[in-house]
Amino acid sequence: MWGLSDSLIAVDATSGKIDWATRFPGYASSDPVATPHGLLVCNDKYYQGGKVKLLRYADGTELWSTDLKCQALYPPLVQGNQVIVATYDARVVCLSILTGEVLWSTQLGPEEQVASQFCRLKQGIYFGTTARNLYCVDSKTGKAVFKESFNYGISDLLVANGQLYIPTGGSELWTLKE
């Protein structure tokens, strides 16, 4: 399965033939994310709007669609029955993987956007922003656990051996104290 700017194509791994294809005219799309319930994709209408969609694996038909000003720059984070996405209106939104219903929404600072992939450690969702902040929000409620300012931008976070690693644009690698 792979996407072209406004298309998503499913190819049979054995025969190499196209199983199905779907287009999203006028939208850019995030890399698709495989979930136990279907294929998840964010469609971005160039900062003006967007949709988060769950597609059936067998034929690409839409199982649900939720209108959001979602970013297609970073893939959504899927954990359990939650889908975490970033939006262009400075929010982090959690959707139900089963229905697409909004479970919670967290407002970021003014003019602040998500600027890294999401990372989950225990009950926290971690991400960096354009204002060089590291956020941790509670995955169940969306409430901010903390916000920490950095001198440089934050690269994509990594969890290994139960530890969160925070690389920065200043050639630094940070971790959190327990």
Per-residue pLDDT tens digits for 10-29: 888 899 999 888 888 777 77
Q: Are residues 1 and 88 in the same domain?
A: yes
Total domains present in the chain: 2
CATH number at residue 14: 2.40.128.630
- Cα–Cα distances in Å, from 88 out to 68, 106, 156, 160? 9, 13, 19, 30
Q: Are residues 130 and 148 in the same domain?
A: yes
Contacts of 105 (CB under 8 A, 6+ apart): 91, 92, 93, 94, 142
Contacts of 106 (CB under 8 A, 6+ apart): 91, 92, 93, 137, 142, 143, 144
The residue segments making up the domain with residue 3 are: 1-107
Of the candidates 30, 145, 142, 127, the one whose C-alpha atom is nearest the C-alpha of residue 82 is 142
Q: Give the separation between CA 60 and CA 19, rounded to whole angstroms.
A: 9
CATH number at residue 147: 2.40.10.480
Give residue-wise pLDDT tens across range 105-138. Answer: 999 998 899 999 999 999 999 999 999 999 999 9
Give residue-wise pLDDT tens across range 42-93. Answer: 888 777 788 999 999 999 999 999 999 888 788 899 999 999 999 988 999 9
Q: Are residues 47 and 98 in the same domain?
A: yes
Regarding pTM above 0.85, the answer is yes
Q: Are residues 75 and 149 in the same domain?
A: no
